[in-house]
Copies of this chain bind each other. A is one copy, B any other.
Amino acid sequence: MSVVVTGAAGFLGNRLAQNLAKRGAQVVLCDQIEPPVVPAGGRALVGPLEETLGAAIASDTRAVVHLAAVVSSGAERDFDLGYRVNVDGLRGTLEACRARCAQPPKFVFASSLAVFGATDAADDATPTTPLNSYGAQKAIGELLVNDYSRKGFVDGRSVRLPTISIRPGAPNAAASGFASSILREPLAGQRAVCPMDLDTDLWLASPRSALRSLEHALDVDGAAFGDYRCVNAPGVTVSVEEMLAALARHGGDRGLVDFVPDPAVAAIVGTWPARFDTSKAAAMGFPDACSIDAMVRSHIEDELN
Protein backbone atom coordinates (compact mmCIF):
# COMPACT_ATOMS: atom_id res chain seq x y z
CA MET A 1 0.00 0.00 0.00
CA SER A 2 1.43 3.38 -1.03
CA VAL A 3 0.43 6.15 1.38
CA VAL A 4 1.28 9.84 1.10
CA VAL A 5 1.54 11.85 4.32
CA THR A 6 1.71 15.65 3.94
CA GLY A 7 3.09 17.64 6.85
CA ALA A 8 5.19 14.57 7.56
CA ALA A 9 7.94 16.49 9.38
CA GLY A 10 5.43 17.58 12.00
CA PHE A 11 5.31 15.52 15.15
CA LEU A 12 1.94 13.89 14.38
CA GLY A 13 2.75 13.36 10.71
CA ASN A 14 6.12 11.85 11.42
CA ARG A 15 4.77 9.40 14.00
CA LEU A 16 1.88 8.51 11.74
CA ALA A 17 4.34 7.79 8.90
CA GLN A 18 6.32 5.51 11.22
CA ASN A 19 3.17 3.70 12.39
CA LEU A 20 1.96 3.19 8.82
CA ALA A 21 5.38 1.87 7.77
CA LYS A 22 5.27 -0.64 10.63
CA ARG A 23 1.95 -1.81 9.22
CA GLY A 24 3.63 -2.49 5.86
CA ALA A 25 2.80 0.69 3.94
CA GLN A 26 5.26 2.33 1.57
CA VAL A 27 5.08 5.85 2.91
CA VAL A 28 5.86 9.03 0.97
CA LEU A 29 6.67 11.81 3.43
CA CYS A 30 6.01 15.33 2.09
CA ASP A 31 7.03 18.45 3.97
CA GLN A 32 8.82 21.74 3.51
CA ILE A 33 11.53 20.60 5.90
CA GLU A 34 13.38 17.30 6.25
CA PRO A 35 11.32 14.81 8.33
CA PRO A 36 13.16 13.80 11.52
CA VAL A 37 12.59 10.11 10.74
CA VAL A 38 12.11 8.47 7.35
CA PRO A 39 10.91 4.94 8.10
CA ALA A 40 12.29 1.90 6.24
CA GLY A 41 10.74 1.56 2.80
CA GLY A 42 9.63 5.19 2.86
CA ARG A 43 10.91 8.21 0.97
CA ALA A 44 10.90 11.88 1.79
CA LEU A 45 10.04 14.66 -0.65
CA VAL A 46 11.20 17.98 0.75
CA GLY A 47 9.92 21.27 -0.66
CA PRO A 48 6.78 23.37 -1.10
CA LEU A 49 3.77 21.05 -1.33
CA GLU A 50 2.74 22.28 -4.77
CA GLU A 51 6.17 21.27 -6.08
CA THR A 52 6.33 17.83 -4.47
CA LEU A 53 2.76 16.67 -5.21
CA GLY A 54 3.65 15.66 -8.75
CA ALA A 55 6.27 13.21 -7.50
CA ALA A 56 4.30 12.16 -4.40
CA ILE A 57 0.90 11.23 -5.79
CA ALA A 58 0.93 8.60 -8.49
CA SER A 59 -1.38 6.19 -10.24
CA ASP A 60 -0.91 3.56 -7.49
CA THR A 61 -1.37 5.91 -4.49
CA ARG A 62 -3.92 4.17 -2.28
CA ALA A 63 -4.22 6.74 0.51
CA VAL A 64 -3.31 10.30 1.45
CA VAL A 65 -3.23 11.73 4.96
CA HIS A 66 -3.25 15.51 4.63
CA LEU A 67 -1.77 17.15 7.71
CA ALA A 68 0.12 20.06 6.09
CA ALA A 69 -1.28 23.24 7.65
CA VAL A 70 -0.59 26.65 9.09
CA VAL A 71 -1.90 26.48 12.67
CA SER A 72 -4.34 28.82 14.37
CA SER A 73 -2.33 31.83 15.50
CA GLY A 74 -0.21 31.60 12.38
CA ALA A 75 -3.28 31.69 10.13
CA GLU A 76 -4.74 34.57 12.14
CA ARG A 77 -1.52 36.58 11.86
CA ASP A 78 -0.87 35.92 8.15
CA PHE A 79 -4.22 35.79 6.37
CA ASP A 80 -2.76 35.12 2.91
CA LEU A 81 -0.44 32.36 4.09
CA GLY A 82 -3.31 30.65 5.90
CA TYR A 83 -5.51 30.54 2.82
CA ARG A 84 -2.62 29.57 0.55
CA VAL A 85 -1.57 26.61 2.68
CA ASN A 86 -4.81 25.53 4.36
CA VAL A 87 -7.19 25.97 1.42
CA ASP A 88 -5.15 26.08 -1.78
CA GLY A 89 -2.72 23.44 -0.50
CA LEU A 90 -5.59 21.06 0.24
CA ARG A 91 -7.27 21.78 -3.07
CA GLY A 92 -4.03 21.12 -4.92
CA THR A 93 -3.66 17.81 -3.12
CA LEU A 94 -7.23 16.79 -3.94
CA GLU A 95 -6.69 17.82 -7.57
CA ALA A 96 -3.49 15.74 -7.75
CA CYS A 97 -5.48 12.70 -6.54
CA ARG A 98 -8.20 13.39 -9.08
CA ALA A 99 -5.72 13.78 -11.92
CA ARG A 100 -3.30 10.96 -11.15
CA CYS A 101 -4.76 8.14 -9.10
CA ALA A 102 -6.05 5.05 -10.89
CA GLN A 103 -8.63 4.55 -8.13
CA PRO A 104 -10.04 7.17 -5.73
CA PRO A 105 -7.54 7.07 -2.84
CA LYS A 106 -8.61 7.18 0.77
CA PHE A 107 -8.10 10.79 1.81
CA VAL A 108 -7.86 11.63 5.51
CA PHE A 109 -8.07 15.36 6.21
CA ALA A 110 -7.06 16.62 9.64
CA SER A 111 -9.78 19.10 10.51
CA SER A 112 -10.19 20.76 13.88
CA LEU A 113 -12.55 21.77 16.68
CA ALA A 114 -11.78 25.31 15.41
CA VAL A 115 -14.49 24.91 12.74
CA PHE A 116 -17.00 25.68 15.49
CA GLY A 117 -17.57 29.11 16.94
CA ALA A 118 -19.33 30.70 19.88
CA THR A 119 -20.84 27.53 21.28
CA ASP A 120 -20.02 25.81 24.53
CA ALA A 121 -20.95 22.33 23.33
CA ALA A 122 -20.85 20.71 19.90
CA ASP A 123 -22.02 17.56 18.23
CA ASP A 124 -21.71 16.31 14.66
CA ALA A 125 -24.74 18.42 13.65
CA THR A 126 -23.47 21.71 15.09
CA PRO A 127 -23.09 24.31 12.32
CA THR A 128 -19.58 25.33 11.36
CA THR A 129 -19.55 29.06 12.04
CA PRO A 130 -15.87 29.61 12.83
CA LEU A 131 -14.66 32.85 14.35
CA ASN A 132 -11.02 32.53 13.32
CA SER A 133 -9.34 32.12 9.94
CA TYR A 134 -7.87 28.71 10.77
CA GLY A 135 -11.35 27.39 11.57
CA ALA A 136 -12.79 28.95 8.40
CA GLN A 137 -10.06 27.30 6.33
CA LYS A 138 -10.65 23.92 7.96
CA ALA A 139 -14.44 24.22 7.45
CA ILE A 140 -13.82 25.04 3.78
CA GLY A 141 -11.56 22.00 3.65
CA GLU A 142 -14.32 19.74 4.97
CA LEU A 143 -16.66 21.00 2.24
CA LEU A 144 -14.01 20.34 -0.42
CA VAL A 145 -13.23 16.85 0.88
CA ASN A 146 -16.92 15.96 0.96
CA ASP A 147 -17.58 17.29 -2.53
CA TYR A 148 -14.52 15.58 -4.05
CA SER A 149 -15.70 12.37 -2.36
CA ARG A 150 -19.26 12.71 -3.60
CA LYS A 151 -17.92 13.11 -7.13
CA GLY A 152 -15.78 9.97 -6.72
CA PHE A 153 -12.43 11.76 -7.02
CA VAL A 154 -11.27 10.65 -3.55
CA ASP A 155 -12.64 8.49 -0.73
CA GLY A 156 -12.51 11.30 1.81
CA ARG A 157 -12.62 11.36 5.60
CA SER A 158 -12.43 14.63 7.55
CA VAL A 159 -11.56 14.16 11.20
CA ARG A 160 -12.05 17.08 13.58
CA LEU A 161 -9.20 16.71 16.05
CA PRO A 162 -9.31 18.19 19.56
CA THR A 163 -6.50 20.39 20.83
CA ILE A 164 -3.52 18.08 21.23
CA SER A 165 -1.84 17.86 24.59
CA ILE A 166 0.95 17.20 25.37
CA ARG A 167 2.53 18.19 22.05
CA PRO A 168 6.27 17.43 22.37
CA GLY A 169 9.12 19.70 21.38
CA ALA A 170 9.18 23.46 20.97
CA PRO A 171 6.02 25.60 21.06
CA ASN A 172 4.37 26.18 17.67
CA ALA A 173 2.09 28.98 16.45
CA ALA A 174 -1.12 27.31 17.67
CA ALA A 175 -3.17 29.58 19.92
CA SER A 176 -3.82 26.47 21.99
CA GLY A 177 -0.09 25.83 22.43
CA PHE A 178 -0.36 26.62 26.14
CA ALA A 179 -2.44 23.44 26.55
CA SER A 180 0.82 21.59 26.00
CA SER A 181 3.38 24.01 27.45
CA ILE A 182 1.75 24.36 30.90
CA LEU A 183 2.36 20.62 31.35
CA ARG A 184 5.42 19.99 29.18
CA GLU A 185 7.63 22.77 30.53
CA PRO A 186 7.05 22.12 34.27
CA LEU A 187 7.59 18.38 33.70
CA ALA A 188 11.03 19.40 32.35
CA GLY A 189 11.60 21.75 35.30
CA GLN A 190 10.96 24.90 33.26
CA ARG A 191 8.59 27.84 33.65
CA ALA A 192 5.53 28.20 31.43
CA VAL A 193 2.98 30.91 30.74
CA CYS A 194 -0.76 30.23 30.83
CA PRO A 195 -2.77 32.90 28.93
CA MET A 196 -6.18 31.64 30.14
CA ASP A 197 -7.91 31.34 33.54
CA LEU A 198 -7.83 28.26 35.77
CA ASP A 199 -11.50 27.57 35.04
CA THR A 200 -11.06 27.55 31.26
CA ASP A 201 -12.33 24.24 29.86
CA LEU A 202 -10.52 22.69 26.91
CA TRP A 203 -11.29 19.80 24.56
CA LEU A 204 -8.13 17.71 24.47
CA ALA A 205 -6.64 14.56 23.03
CA SER A 206 -3.18 13.11 23.57
CA PRO A 207 -0.84 12.62 20.59
CA ARG A 208 -1.42 8.87 20.89
CA SER A 209 -5.19 9.37 20.83
CA ALA A 210 -5.01 11.73 17.83
CA LEU A 211 -2.86 9.19 15.99
CA ARG A 212 -5.34 6.44 16.77
CA SER A 213 -8.12 8.64 15.36
CA LEU A 214 -6.20 9.35 12.15
CA GLU A 215 -5.33 5.67 11.68
CA HIS A 216 -8.90 4.60 12.36
CA ALA A 217 -10.14 7.19 9.86
CA LEU A 218 -7.85 5.54 7.31
CA ASP A 219 -9.04 2.02 8.17
CA VAL A 220 -12.79 2.53 8.47
CA ASP A 221 -15.20 1.88 5.58
CA GLY A 222 -15.97 5.25 3.98
CA ALA A 223 -19.66 4.37 3.84
CA ALA A 224 -19.71 4.46 7.65
CA PHE A 225 -19.55 8.27 7.42
CA GLY A 226 -23.03 8.35 5.91
CA ASP A 227 -24.02 11.30 3.73
CA TYR A 228 -21.30 13.61 4.94
CA ARG A 229 -17.62 12.72 5.16
CA CYS A 230 -16.78 14.29 8.50
CA VAL A 231 -16.63 13.27 12.15
CA ASN A 232 -15.80 14.81 15.54
CA ALA A 233 -12.87 12.78 16.89
CA PRO A 234 -12.89 11.56 20.51
CA GLY A 235 -11.43 13.83 23.20
CA VAL A 236 -11.88 14.77 26.83
CA THR A 237 -13.05 17.97 28.51
CA VAL A 238 -10.44 19.19 30.99
CA SER A 239 -10.08 22.52 32.79
CA VAL A 240 -6.76 24.28 33.26
CA GLU A 241 -7.13 23.58 36.99
CA GLU A 242 -7.57 19.86 36.31
CA MET A 243 -4.50 19.90 34.05
CA LEU A 244 -2.37 21.48 36.75
CA ALA A 245 -3.72 19.06 39.36
CA ALA A 246 -2.68 16.17 37.07
CA LEU A 247 0.72 17.82 36.62
CA ALA A 248 1.19 17.85 40.40
CA ARG A 249 0.09 14.21 40.67
CA HIS A 250 2.87 13.25 38.28
CA GLY A 251 5.61 15.14 40.12
CA GLY A 252 5.43 18.44 38.22
CA ASP A 253 5.57 21.79 40.05
CA ARG A 254 2.47 23.83 39.22
CA GLY A 255 4.18 26.83 40.77
CA LEU A 256 6.25 27.02 37.57
CA VAL A 257 3.15 28.21 35.65
CA ASP A 258 2.66 31.99 35.43
CA PHE A 259 -0.78 33.33 34.54
CA VAL A 260 -0.51 36.15 32.01
CA PRO A 261 -3.82 36.83 30.18
CA ASP A 262 -3.43 37.13 26.39
CA PRO A 263 -6.43 38.66 24.57
CA ALA A 264 -5.19 37.36 21.20
CA VAL A 265 -5.23 33.78 22.49
CA ALA A 266 -8.57 34.26 24.25
CA ALA A 267 -10.07 35.65 21.03
CA ILE A 268 -9.28 32.37 19.26
CA VAL A 269 -9.39 29.65 21.94
CA GLY A 270 -12.31 31.29 23.75
CA THR A 271 -14.59 30.67 20.73
CA TRP A 272 -13.93 26.92 20.63
CA PRO A 273 -16.37 24.54 22.30
CA ALA A 274 -15.00 22.47 25.18
CA ARG A 275 -17.75 19.84 25.38
CA PHE A 276 -18.47 17.43 22.54
CA ASP A 277 -20.92 14.72 21.70
CA THR A 278 -18.81 12.18 19.79
CA SER A 279 -21.44 9.48 19.38
CA LYS A 280 -20.86 9.34 15.61
CA ALA A 281 -17.19 8.54 16.22
CA ALA A 282 -18.15 5.93 18.82
CA ALA A 283 -20.62 4.30 16.44
CA MET A 284 -17.87 4.22 13.79
CA GLY A 285 -15.50 2.44 16.16
CA PHE A 286 -13.11 5.32 16.88
CA PRO A 287 -11.23 4.47 20.11
CA ASP A 288 -12.06 6.59 23.15
CA ALA A 289 -9.63 9.34 24.15
CA CYS A 290 -7.61 8.87 27.31
CA SER A 291 -7.87 10.78 30.59
CA ILE A 292 -5.73 13.78 31.52
CA ASP A 293 -3.65 11.51 33.79
CA ALA A 294 -3.00 9.11 30.91
CA MET A 295 -2.07 12.11 28.73
CA VAL A 296 0.58 13.21 31.22
CA ARG A 297 1.77 9.63 31.72
CA SER A 298 2.12 8.93 28.01
CA HIS A 299 4.12 12.13 27.57
CA ILE A 300 6.49 11.03 30.33
CA GLU A 301 6.80 7.57 28.73
CA ASP A 302 7.16 8.75 25.14
CA GLU A 303 9.26 11.88 25.59
CA LEU A 304 11.01 12.01 28.93
CA ASN A 305 12.22 8.42 29.46
Contact = CB atoms under 8 A, between A and B. Distances in A.
Interface of A: 79, 117-118, 125-131, 133, 136, 139-140, 143-144, 146-147, 150-151, 227-228, 230
Contacts of A118: 227-228
A227 B129 CA distance: 8
Contact of A151 (B79, B151, B228): B79
Given A79-B151, A129-B146, A136-B143, 14 more contacts: A117-B228, A125-B127, A127-B127, A127-B128, A128-B128, A130-B143, A130-B147, A133-B150, A136-B144, A136-B146, A136-B147, A140-B140, A140-B144, A143-B143
A131 B150 CA distance: 8
A90 to B, nearest CB: 12
Contacts of A133: 147, 150-151
19 contacts: A118-B227, A126-B127, A127-B127, A127-B128, A128-B128, A128-B143, A129-B227, A129-B228, A129-B230, A130-B143, A130-B146, A131-B150, A133-B150, A133-B151, A136-B144, A136-B146, A136-B147, A139-B143, A140-B140
Q: Taking the full assembly, how many copies of this chain does it contain?
A: 2
Contacts of A131: 150, 227
* Max count, chain B CB within 10 A of own CB: residue among A118, A133, A140, A230: A140
A226 to B, nearest CB: 9
A230 to B, nearest CB: 8
A161 to B, nearest CB: 18
A237 to B, nearest CB: 21
A139 B115 CA distance: 13
